[in-house]
Amino acid sequence: MSQRSTVFLDEMGVGVQWKLRNPASGEEAGGQQETVESVVEVVAEAAPAFVPAPAPAPVIAAAPVAAPVAAPTPAPAVAMQPPVAAPAPSFAPEQPLADEPAAAMDDDSTAWFDEAPVPARAAPVSDEAIAAMDWTALKTAVSTCTRCSLCDVRRNAVNGRGAADATWLAIAAAPSRLDEKENQAITGEAGQLLDNMLKAIALKPETDVYVTNLVKCRPVADDGADRAPTGEELLACRPFLDRELALTGATMAMTFGQYAAKGLMMGPAARGKVMRYGAAELPVVATYHPDDLLRRPEDKAKAWGDLCLAKAARD
């Protein structure tokens, strides 16, 4: 086979197929050689018509295949360079808290709490100011009162309820837990019983009676239970009661419960008689608190006698 034929067959990728493992001898080999050369000549002459000229495609195609196999390309030199400083912002960025070490502080220290300012208690309103108040100002003064220490523990300061021009005053000692919650004097079942007691002597609770307490804030014992008001608490609230009496113009009063009678009279007080209160000598009759009657219904007969006494004193 000529060198030209060998090169051409190698380019075609068929050179190996035409090689004989056991070359023939003599004339047979020479005949085969001539046949091969003639075939090569024919193929060579026809090649331009069927086989395109070798293109660089195989070389280009090999490049992408080799890329994944190659070792990872090192990062560009630009990436290793320090970043270019950005323009300064119009405001200073906040520094991380870690950059500013916290001051050493003992675990038991309360300095953080001590720094919080304690709001000062508002100055208590004077007796003279209370004596000049109208209903609106009086109710506001009661709600914001700081005249005794009960203002520090109260939930609500309980104003009176009823007609502003009532002719009767119904007075209890202090708000109960329920009164404080409802923000109303003598409420709940006790309030319903009180209304029934007043109706029994021909009074209209909505128009004839003003219900209030000697002390406007609920006195609380150390265990959270209701307690009787102290003398200091009674004196602190007395101007409010006197102003309620003056604004209503009531001409009769009844106290409900032993602490109410003693607290109003500031001394001994008893059921079954007409007492007098203040410079105007307002007639006062003491009886049981509705809560007491709910616990001891057998005392209702005595309470009925007290109501009749009060009605007779008023008539």
> Is 214 a member of any domain?
yes
pLDDT at 105: 53
From CA 219, how far away is CA 179, in angstroms rounded?
Answer: 12
Compute the average pLDDT of residues 162-187.
Answer: 97
Nearest to 305 by CA among 288, 284, 281, 283: 288
> pLDDT by residue (tens digit) across 183-195?
999 999 999 999 9
pLDDT at 192: 98
| CA–centroid distance for 68 within its chain | 59
Nearest to 40 by CA among 56, 24, 17: 17
> Is 60 a member of any domain?
no
* Torsion 160-162-165-171 (CA) sign: negative
pLDDT at 50: 45
Which contiguous run of DSSP H or E holds residue 261?
A: helix 258-265
- Cβ atoms of 198 and 311 within 8 Å: the answer is no
Question: How many domains does the structure of the chain reveal?
Answer: 1
> pLDDT by residue (tens digit) across 97-118?
555 555 555 555 555 555 556 5
> Is 257 a member of any domain?
yes
> pLDDT by residue (tens digit) across 208-244?
999 999 999 999 999 999 999 999 999 999 999 999 9
> Is 4 a member of any domain?
no
Q: SS3 of 270, please?
A: coil
Which contiguous run of DSSP H or E holds residue 209?
A: strand 209-213
What percentage of the chain reaches a pLDDT higher than 90?
Answer: 58
| pTM passes above 0.85 | no
Compute the average pLDDT of residues 23-36.
Answer: 49
226 secondary structure, DSSP code:
B
In terms of average pLDDT, the best of 41-55, 69-83, 106-120, 270-284 is 270-284
Residue 266 CB contacts under 8 Å (≥ 6 apart), including other chains: 234
Is residue 91 pLDDT above 90, yes or no? Answer: no
Residue 278 CB contacts under 8 Å (≥ 6 apart), including other chains: 242, 245
Compute the average pLDDT of residues 163-185.
Answer: 97
Greater confidence (99 vs 205) lies with 205
| Element counts in the chain: helices (H) and strands (E) | 14, 6
pLDDT at 315: 78
> Is 26 a member of any domain?
no
Mean pLDDT of the chain: 79
CATH number of the domain that residue 275 is part of: 3.40.470.10
Q: Where does the pLDDT of residue 33 fall: very low under 50, low under 70, confident under 90, or very high at 90 and above?
A: low
Is residue 59 pLDDT above 50, yes or no? Answer: no
> Is 23 a member of any domain?
no
**Angle, CA 283 vertex, CA 249 and CA 133 arms, to 5°:** 30
Nearest to 256 by CA among 298, 206, 294: 294
How would you list the strands of the sheet with 252-256, edge to edge? 161-162, 209-213, 168-172, 252-256, 282-287, 274-277
What percentage of the chain reaches a pLDDT higher than 70?
Answer: 62
Is residue 304 pLDDT above 80, yes or no? Answer: yes
- Cβ atoms of 29 and 23 within 8 Å: the answer is yes
pLDDT at 58: 47
Q: What domain range is 151 assigned to? A: 127-314
pLDDT at 66: 45
Which contiguous run of DSSP H or E holds residue 282?
A: strand 282-287
User: What DSSP line would sit under 22-71, residue for residue?
Assistant: SPPPHHHHHHHHHHHHHHHHHHHHHHHHHSPPPPSHHHHHHHHHHHHHSP
State both tokens at 282: 């307002």
